[in-house]
Copies of this chain bind each other. A is one copy, B any other.
């Protein structure tokens, strides 16, 4: 593959090169890349803002993450935060820190993934900052979205007796990561043997190229259902459910047997000798939507495909518990990232 040193373009040349084919498609994007700030028009709607920082060696390993996938994922995880507010992502700004190790072609790959995600989700790239870094690849993306004021869903609105739903299935992304980490160890130093991922594509896709649940937000809207609370599952079902409970000042019961798990996830957990429920509860990076709706909407929810009833909300004094398959109650615990404690 061709390798063009970044130094041949210089700072301004590099930014031009990466952004010159970026088109604005959203009516609310008045002015994009190329001035001190982007200009957006959000009249009559509320503006949502979310941001994510991804660091090489912490959030991704370029040994097995293709740059195009990384660009795609970096955008999608921000869109997911906007959908989790029942909003629609509209614009992103992209800041990159890049070391000399990366070529212009590498950055083109990354941008091609970013742009693909933006095309699919209908989002514009409107600004950013590109700088050199001493080590590794740093990605900071901020996403702007809009929502009608009466449709915004916070983490804090869950009420006693509300039903708890989650979209898709959980734990696959984490098992995909375990699989990639194992292959990296096995094949370290060997260029001849290619890892065999046949039959495990779903796990890899969930880890490397996750999607945000735009479809679920649209389905709920079609049915006229506004959740009382919502969050996207990024830290893990257990942590994210506790965010809802804490901010809504409620308790919950989550039923182990109802947690949706894909067959490949279960199989891989067995191979790794892991408890699949633990994987689904604490794995994270699922980017599914976890939300609550009033009990009265139970029947209406039947017409929303792709979501699963996994529990209900209780009075705060009843606490937040997982009800296991054998009827035991186990207190839910937040995991969050543990990079800082692991070091």
Contact = CB atoms under 8 A, between A and B. Distances in A.
Contact of A129 (B53, B152, B338): B53
A229 to B, nearest CB: 10
A272 to B, nearest CB: 25
A185 interface: no
B53 A97 contact: yes
Nearest to A231: B36
A48 B144 CA distance: 11
A22 B135 CA distance: 33
Q: Which of A36, A44, A131, A144 has the most CB of B within 10 A?
A: A36
Interface residues of A, number: 75
A266 interface: no
B30 A46 contact: yes
A36 B340 contact: no
A87 B51 contact: no
B55 A340 contact: no
Contacts of A147: 39
Identical copies in the complex: 2
A264 interface: no
Contact of A53 (B48, B138, B341): B138
A59 B131 contact: yes
Contacts of A156: 35
Q: Which of A10, A37, A39, A129 has the most CB of B within 10 A?
A: A37
A129 B36 contact: no
B52 A132 contact: no
Given A7-B341, A49-B93, A53-B129, 15 more contacts: A7-B340, A30-B46, A36-B81, A36-B231, A37-B48, A37-B145, A38-B49, A49-B91, A49-B126, A50-B93, A53-B95, A53-B97, A53-B138, A131-B337, A140-B140
